[in-house]
Structure 1
Amino acid sequence: MGGKYRITGDKYPRMRPPRRRGRLVFLTVACVAVLGLIGWGTLQLIDVFTGGGKKATAAAGKADCGPKASASPGTLSALPAPAQITVNVFNATPRSGLAKQTADELKKRGFRIGAVGNATKAYDKKVAGTAVLLGPASSLNSSLPVLATQLTGAERRTDVARKGPEVDLILGNAFKSLDPKPAADQALTKLTHPAPATAKKGC
Structure 2
Amino acid sequence: MGGRYKITGDKYPRMRPVRRRGRLAFAGVACVTVLGVLGWGTLQLIDVFTGGDKASAAGAAGCSEATAKASAPPAAVAVPKPAQVTVNVFNATTRGGLAQKTADELKKRGFRVGDVGNATEEYDKKVDGTGVLLGPAAALKTSLPVLGTQLPAADRRTDAARRGPAVDLIIGNGFKELTRKADADAALAKLAAPRPTPAVEKKSC
TM-score normalised by the shorter chain: which range applies?
0.7 to 0.9
Contact 2:77–2:193 under 8 Å retained in 1: no
- Structure 1 residue 142: Cα displacement: 2.1
2:60 maps to: 58
Find out whether 1:29 has 2:27 as its counterpart: no
CA distance in 2, matches of 1:16, 1:130: 119
Contact 2:136–2:160 under 8 Å retained in 1: yes
Q: After alignment, is 125-134 or 96-105 more displaced?
A: 96-105
- Structure 1 residue 39: Cα displacement: 2.6
1:115 counterpart letter in structure 2: D
CA distance in 2, matches of 1:59, 1:143: 42
TM-score of the superposed pair, with normalisation by structure 1: 0.72
2:188 maps to: 188
Q: After alignment, is 118-127 or 53-62 more displaced?
A: 53-62
Contact 2:91–2:99 under 8 Å retained in 1: yes
CA distance in 2, matches of 1:106, 1:127: 20
CA distance in 2, matches of 1:71, 1:155: 28
CA distance in 2, matches of 1:102, 1:29: 98
Cα distance, 1:61–1:23 mapped onto 2, change above 3 Å? farther
2:136 maps to: 136
- Structure 1 residue 23: Cα displacement: 4.0
Contact 1:65–1:199 under 8 Å retained in 2: no
1:67 maps to: 69
- Structure 1: runs of 5+ lacking an equivalent: 2-12
Contact 2:89–2:168 under 8 Å retained in 1: yes
- Structure 1 residue 18: Cα displacement: 5.4
2:141 counterpart letter in structure 1: N
TM-score of the superposed pair, with normalisation by structure 2: 0.72
- Structure 1 residue 156: Cα displacement: 1.2
1:92 maps to: 92
1:103 maps to: 103
RMSD: 3.6
- Structure 1 residue 114: Cα displacement: 1.6
SS of the aligned residue for 1:182 comes to helix
- Structure 1 residue 33: Cα displacement: 2.1
CA distance in 2, matches of 1:29, 1:172: 98
Cα distance, 1:193–1:54 mapped onto 2, change above 3 Å? same
SS of the aligned residue for 1:67 comes to helix
Contact 1:90–1:168 under 8 Å retained in 2: yes
**Structure 1 vs Structure 2: percent identity of aligned residues?**
51
**Once the two structures are superposed, what CA deviation does each residue of 1:105-151 show, in whole Å capped at 9, x if it has no partner?**
21111001122222222112211112101112232222112111211
CA distance in 2, matches of 1:60, 1:26: 49
1:168 maps to: 168
